[in-house]
Structure 1
Amino acid sequence: MTPRLQCLICLDTLLLSESAAVRCGHVFHLHCILQWFENCKTCPVCRKKATTRDLIRQLFFQVEENKSFIFSTDPFEMHNQLQNALDNLEKEKQAVAEAKDQANVYITANLLLKEKVTSLESISQLNMQQIKHLEGMLTKQLDLEKELQKYRKRLQATAFYKLLSSAKDEPVLEIDKYISSEGLEVKKFIALLRR
C-alpha cells in the first residue's frame, strides 16, 4: 500500500502543490491552515505559537518517480492498491503458515531422531556391558585352559614317573623310544629321574 499524505485539519489527501507548513514542521492544506489562523494563532497539532508570517507557503519535495510513492486521489485506484496490499499480506500469511508447518515437521523429525539416538545409546551401553562380561568369561576360560594344560603336564609327568619306576627291569631303549615321541622337556625330566 502506498503512503498517503493527509492534511491534519480536514483529514483529506494532501497534494504537494496545495501544501503549506508551519515553523514547527507540521504540513496542512494552504487554505485549511489560513482558515485555522483566523481563529487560533497556534499549530493545530502541537499548539506552538504560529502566525501567517511563520507559514512556509511553497514546499518542494524531491520525489522519485517510484510507483510505490505515487499518491492517488482516485478511489478505484486506492481500492486496487489496498486490494493488492491485502493479497500480498494473505500470501505472506500463507508463507508463514507453510514455514511454521515445515518447522513443526522438522521439530517432530528432530524429536524422533533424539529418541532413536537415546535408544541406540542404551543398546550400545548394553552391548558394552555384554562385551565386558564376555571378555571376563574369555579371560576365565583362558586361565582355566592354562591350568588344565598345567595339570595335563603333571599327569604326564606322573605317568612317566610310574613308567620309569615300574620299568626298571625293561630295556632302556624301549623307554627312550617312548621319550623321543614326547619331546625334549620329557627327556630332561627322565634324565633327572635317572640320576
Structure 2
Amino acid sequence: MNKIVFLLPVSVMVLLFYFGYQYVNNMETATNESLQNDITISLETTRNGNDVRLTGKWDWTQMPVDGLVGDDYIMISLKTEEGTPVSMEELVEAELFLFNGKELLVTITGELEDDGVVFTFPNQIIDHVSYGNRGEIEVSYQLDEEQEYIATFTYVHTWVDHELVKFDLFHSLDAGLPDILTNKYWSINRFIQF
C-alpha cells in the first residue's frame, strides 16, 4: 500500500515533466530571418475623382526570439498601367504610423525620392513597448481619374544595427543592403492595381 502512495505521485510528476518537455521543444518560434513568413500585409486604395489614397498595413503575427534591432524600410512607387513612373509632384501626403495595439506611438513623414516615397522606421523595444512590428502607411496622390495605376509596396526588414549613408535610398536599398548587412535582411513586395 505504501508503494502505491509513493509511486502514483512520482509517476504523475514524471509524465508531467515529459509532456511539458515535449511541448516546449515542439513550440514554433519566429526568428528575424523567418519573420517574413509570419507577417501580414494588406493594401487598399480609395479613389474619389482625382484624389487617391493608398493605405498599407502590416502586422507581425509573432515577435522574433532573437530580438528587435535596426531599421526597417517601406518603399512606395507608382506607375501607370503602361509602366511609366508617376512623378512625385502628384504626391499630396505620405505618412507612416507605428502602433502598439491601438495606441499610436510614432508618426513619420516619408522621404521623397525621384520614383517614390521611402519610410524609415525603428525596430526596438523601449520600456516593454515594441516599435516597428505593427503599423500603417497612408499616401495620397492627385492623379488622372481616367488612368489605371499600379502601386508597389516594398517592405524591407533588417535585424542588425546599421547606418545607411545618405544616398538615393529608393534605388540603392536592394543593391546596397547585401553589402552592408550581409544577409541580415529580407524584403517583400506587394502590388495593387487601381
TM-score range, shorter chain: under 0.3
Larger radius of gyration: 1
Larger RCO: 1 or 2 (CA < 8 Å, sep 6+): 2
TM-score in terms of structure 1 length: 0.25
Higher helix share: 1
Higher strand share: 2
